[in-house]
Chain A
């Protein structure tokens, strides 16, 4: 009954460091997305995937990379962290376009 699992829950990085946020789902959903949540701005789409091997950019993709080698996993990479990337990151999966999103519990990232 895991659903969408995100790791880590919290992370502090220094400017210029790199890291990968992990996301895994066990619902066999084809679609997965990454969002960032900032105060007063709701959630904004970073990248999404419509199946293994297929990814595309969302509203705010700069500074982030993704890949989708399996249906279950959709990691988000920050190659060179910047303070502007301080945010809460949510991964979501869904069965098809326009179906409800299933969210993980989020990763709170601070970049100093």
Chain B
């Protein structure tokens, strides 16, 4: 079965500096990959998705992620952090025709003023 490993449980950055949240995946087939964001006491919101088109995927709020098959990675980046980016981020993998989407354990992003 497919699986996801988020390499950092907590990332802390200063406002205005770059953000890097790391995600490695395991999949037997061509995967679909997603990043979701969860603000405190809220549901999850889709940031971006990769479904075998362009390997560099742009999402909402200035986030982007690059699919690297050779490294089985799908890291999330943003050039300049904003205070409103403080939240929990989840990397998700699913396989074609598979309804079992697997979530990573999450990375909590803290943004310092």
Contacts and interface: CB of A to CB of B under 8 A. Distances in A.
Interface string A49-86: 01000001011000000000000000000000000000
A6 B64 CA distance: 30
B5 to A, nearest CB: 10
Interface in B68-105: 90, 94-101, 103-105
B25 interface: no
Contacts of A58: 100
Interface residues of A, number: 24
B100 A45 contact: yes
Contact of B103 (A44, A50, A100): A44
A100 B96 CA distance: 13
Contacts of B56: none
Contact of A103 (B43, B99, B100, B105): B43
